A and B are shown apart, each in its own frame.
Chain A
Amino acid sequence: MIARPKHQRLVLVLLAAIAVLGAVLLAMWGLKDRAAYFYTPADIVAGKGSDGKAMRLGGMVERGSVRRQSDGVTTRFIVEDGEGRVPVTYRGILPDLFREGSGVVAEGKLGSDRTFVADNILAKHDERYMPPELGNQAAEHKAGQTLKR
């Protein structure tokens, strides 16, 4: 049974519309609980970010806070932004550009003890690159420090 051309065209248009609508609905459903929000230490201190939900934490690695654990591969450090401090533990090899006093974004989850358990650490990429979200924050942070002085 070959449908009449006009009829078939209508069916195709309908199918295409359903496909696009389906993509949007699927995407919205998927995004609802799988998007990871970006928080600063100040946000965490203010109570944002629920336990056990994937998120990103961005700030500066506090100077003198980096401690290697006895297993040799777990590192603990503190991420701060001048307004808050969040302890982070990470099991793995730190990226090459991870430095005390330098910008970092940790991906992971907040534990019930408010310690951030990172499963991925992103550090500044090179001298000229910085995650845009950290770039703003570093500038604000610097401005804040200057004001305090």
Chain B
Amino acid sequence: MIAEAGLAALWLAAALSLLGLFLSVLHVRGTLEADRPVRALAIVQGAMCLFAFSMLLLVFARTDLSVALVVENSHSEKPFLYKVAGAWGNHEGSMLLWVMVLGLSGAALATFSRQLSSRTLIAALGAQAALALGFHAFLLGASNPFARLNPAAPEGRGLNPLLQDPGLAFHPPTLYLGYVGLSVAFSLAVGAMLAGDVDRRLARAMRPWVLGAWIFLTLGITAGSYWAYYELGWGGWWFWDPVENASLMPWLAATALLHSVAVLAARNALKAWTMMLAVIAFSMSMVGTFLVRSGILTSVHAFAVDPTRGAFLLLLLGIYVSAAFALFAVRAGSLREGAPFEPVSREAGIVVNNLLLTVILGIVFIGTLYPLFVEALSGEKLSVGAPYFNAVAGPLAILLGILLAVGPLLSWRREGRPILRKLALPALFAATALVIAFLAIPQASPLSKFGLALAAGLIPASLVPLIGRNPLRTPLATWGMAIAHMGAAVSVAGMAADSAFTTERLTAVKLGETVSVGPWLVAFQGISPVAGPNWTAVEAELHASRGGGVSVLRPQTRFFTSPPTETNEAAIDTFLNGQLYTVIGRSDEEGRWQLRLWWKPLVTLIWLGGGLIGFGGLLAFAGHARRSWRKRLAQ
């Protein structure tokens, strides 16, 4: 009954979105006053989606083996957390999660965005209903998560062990909240273009959605990067894998949009550009979903999926994106011109930021899709990886970093203040660091030397906008900006340090032998079998020391029986100045075990920076929320 209830709720939600779309068209055309019904429909539709997803969680929690999806992705002996996470750790479940977040954000839009004109809001809800309708069709037509299996299976096949990890259980929902949050920015842009109301009010309504989506994307990407780093056992934190790029592209677009929406809100400028970015940002979410869910790319993450689904998603993508761009082409010319500004001003700085982000986005986009085009045209198979992305996007990212120091010091409208003097000290830090980098670490790549220098200058520079202000009177949004920018600098420091200072040791050792890596001596003290809830493992015992005390690391090779798989569990020990990363490999006839060791100075700064960026976003969000709350109280 539970599965049927979930399915019924989905059909009902689809019907409600169709009705909502219909009524909103009538409202926008002025034939029918349907403000309240459309808002009510959006709220009920969101509730139905939430109900359907709860039913899916329930069948997974109970391991109902008469539901095909549970049989495919779960197992009665799996730990409870992964039974629940199994609900979205697969194609159908994750698409239902996507639809649920889409529905809930439509409901939230209907509830909270009262400051917009009725025409704009209802047109935006209509756009949101149209999006929901397409994804409902996809879910019900091509990926029903509630399909029954008759007769029921005696046991499930289990979840891919690589996905049985707390980091990965919560990583996709975080990213989806980001992806779908951008759908609201898209709907608001479409609604405002239809209603002809592109103004500061729209920007103020759009900003919390963009900011929220951007925070989730930031945290999702950071968490995903850390998961790949410790779970895959290869010691890297970014692979330029198409699936990673699928989350990076919306993030780049959202970062540009976040800045241009601020210009629109503060200065009523960059109207058409902001609308276009809102369309592009959600298009990138859809491109990402298409890349991941169609199984079209070779990737460590991509799972072979039936090609009709890919075609269906491509069709949805084509319809929404081309409709939005057509609307943009028709309406962009008639948007009233925004306020003009000086060539050196905060606005101009943000224009340059947007151009750089757009170019980087274009480079990542082309690099990610190029293999598909080549294969479609010539049948040749090829892959584009780190050499391309680092060489082409890296220098632009450094330029963007420099702008990060200058931009926040520019004032709106005109530049009157002597910013060069304020940046003198950070620039001195950066120059010193650059000289030291060239002298002390000649073996490091130029990109990592410039990265280190940039971080050395940018960390102090990000605090400059706070200097001379009363910290309690400084708006939370300003704090948020400073902290987010500092987070970017901290991440850059971690990335550059990892590539410049990492030492690696790959060797085969016998029991009792000691090897060195960086400042560490690592002794191979033991090897023993261990058992977990649904796996057995061979576990090594390593004693690592550098002068002082000893830390013990226990890397494992795990064997899962359902499905039969082996995974490597790296053992990582974190210190203030870096991480010691150990992986155990296979044994040979002579009783030697393969051992891979990395000493990675300052590598944790990468994710610490990601966390700071997210925290900065959160502060800005709280600042805006507090301000609009006060305004509401004052009214």
Contact = CB atoms under 8 A, between A and B. Distances in A.
A97 interface: yes
Given A23-B362, A126-B162, A132-B298, A93 B392 contact: no
A135 B391 contact: no
Contacts of A127: 563-565
B586 interface: yes
B366 A94 contact: no
Interface in B300-348: 300, 302-304, 337-343
Given A23-B358, A126-B162, A97 B337 contact: no
A8 to B, nearest CB: 5
Interface in B374-425: 374, 380-385, 387-388, 391-392
Contact of B340 (A8, A22, A37, A96): A8
B536 to A, nearest CB: 14
Interface residues of B, number: 62
B105 to A, nearest CB: 29
B359 A4 contact: no
A36 B362 contact: no
Contacts of A1: 342-343
Given A31-B366, A125-B300, A73 B508 contact: yes
Nearest to A5: B337
Given A15-B355, A35-B388, A97-B565, A30 B363 contact: yes
B589 to A, nearest CB: 9
B68 interface: no
Contacts, number: 156
Interface residues of A, number: 52
B588 A91 contact: no
B300 A122 contact: yes
Contacts of B363: 23, 26-27, 30
Query: For chain A, what secondary structure do more than half of its interface residues adopt (helix, strand, loop), or is it mixed?
Result: mixed
B153 to A, nearest CB: 16
A26 B359 contact: yes
A34 interface: yes
A9 interface: yes
A38 to B, nearest CB: 4
A38 B565 contact: no
A92 interface: yes
Contact of A5 (B302, B340, B592): B340
Contact of A12 (B298, B351, B380, B566): B351
Output the residue of B337, B362, B370, B381 with the most chain A CB within 10 A. Answer: B381
Interface in B107-146: none
A24 B358 CA distance: 11
Interface string B33-70: 00000000000000000000000000000000000000
Given A31-B366, A34-B391, 11 more contacts: A19-B358, A22-B359, A23-B366, A24-B362, A30-B391, A31-B384, A35-B370, A73-B508, A93-B568, A127-B565, A128-B303
Interface of A: 1-6, 8-9, 12, 15-16, 19-20, 22-24, 26-31, 34-38, 54, 56, 68, 71-73, 91-94, 96-97, 105, 107, 122, 125-133, 135
28 contacts: A2-B340, A3-B340, A5-B339, A12-B270, A16-B358, A20-B359, A20-B362, A23-B360, A23-B366, A26-B392, A27-B363, A30-B392, A35-B382, A35-B384, A36-B385, A37-B382, A56-B381, A56-B382, A72-B507, A73-B594, A93-B233, A107-B383, A125-B160, A125-B162, A126-B160, A126-B161, A126-B565, A128-B160
